[in-house]
Amino acid sequence: MNKKSWILTCAILFVYTISMAQVNLVHPIQAKLDSLFKLNTVPGILVGSSVKGKHQFYTVGFADKKLNLAFTPETQFEIGSISKTFTAFILESVLQENNIADTILITQFLPDSLIKNKAITNIQILHLLNHTSGLPRLPENIGIPQDRLQPYANYDKEQLYYYLSKADPQTFGRVAYSNLGAGLAGVIAENISGKSYEQLLSEYINKPFQLKHTGIQSAKKMPKATGYFGNEVATYWNMNVLVGAGGIKSDATDLLKYLDFISSNQSIPVVKSVLQKTTQLNKQVAISKAWHIIEKNGKSLLYWHNGGTYGFSTFAAFNPTTQNSIIVVINAFNKNDIADRLGIEIMTNLLNE
């Protein structure tokens, strides 16, 4: 090989090496997101991971298609039913402060008139938190909304109490997922404490966990993701009296802080209570208080919950042993099959150290 050929070969090898180094810089999570985005019609995807307390964020697509804005760690979105885990923590905190067991009957904290309905008098607070109350997914008197993109906005406490006065739970003692039950858990926390759900969220979670952009209303001065209901822009839900079932807005930074706190403080009484297994669905799946548990050989591998609104599909999970965690956000309706699969795959294959 002459000198000229040798120099050319070295140059080619150098370029190839640099090229391969750039390819190797693509994180496996980012590569997975890019692949999913090519295969699925979704506006955008955000993934946040926490490994040994270090946060990393990965995005593809747009948080707002019209403005071509990407997701950031501070972009707010609806967390949907992940809110139920917040509600469980809030209610257990209120109960412990007042020295009340979660096996107490719910009628102790509801209008006296509801005791007349004997069909609900055996329901305990615990039954609301692990979906064994027998109450349906939604109250039958919720009606047709004035705004079809706001299905809960007009459903208030008076209507809720009226429904409970007539309710006839059909699956009491068996697991049947209930937004109504979780919403009622939030109401009972309010009734015991004399404070609003928003005040309780601030007192028991936002302040001690140091969450800056989590609330019932989206922060006005923060970037806000646009959710899509098909091709329509979906308005953020006002869940009114059922806010405890799915009304919280947050961002990726705050959600990871929340998961970090829960996973790294499992011995704190309220956390220990929330994570305590309460019922078994099958050999692989159990329920604590709001959280779902994936098990193997009787060992808890993953605590998780997902969420869905008309604009967002979300997933959150943590490993109780490694304390690693994940959040997944897709700003589109009914994409939980993608979000859940992605979250579980990342947790079991990429963050299982």
pLDDT score of 196: 98
From CA 105, how far away is CA 115, in angstroms rounded?
A: 11
Contacts of 350 (CB under 8 A, 6+ apart): 28, 29, 32
Which residue has tokens 């469980």? 88
Nearest to 160 by CA among 239, 94, 93: 239
Mean pLDDT over 153-175 rounds to 97
Span 171-208, pLDDT tens digits: 999 999 999 999 999 999 999 999 999 999 999 999 99
- Rounded percentage of the chain residues whose pLDDT exceeds 70: 92
pTM of the model: 0.92
From CA 42, how far away is CA 61, in angstroms rounded?
A: 8
Above 80 in pLDDT, residue 86? yes
Angle, CA of 301, 305 and 311, to the nearest 5°:
145
Above 80 in pLDDT, residue 154? yes
Above 70 in pLDDT, residue 14? no
Span 309-327, pLDDT tens digits: 999 999 999 999 999 999 9
Span 16-39, pLDDT tens digits: 333 333 344 668 999 999 999 998
Q: What single letter denotes the amino acid at residue 183?
A: G
Q: What SS3 state is found at 286?
A: strand
Please give the domain boundaries of the chain with CATH numbers for all domains: 41-350 (3.40.710.10)
| Cβ 304 vs Cβ 287: under 8 Å | no
Q: Which of 88-97, 158-167, 310-319, 343-352 has the lowest mean pLDDT?
A: 343-352
Q: Which of 3-7, 82-86, 143-147, 245-249 has the lowest mean pLDDT?
A: 3-7
Crossing angle for the helix pair 157-166 and 179-193, to the nearest 10 degrees: 110
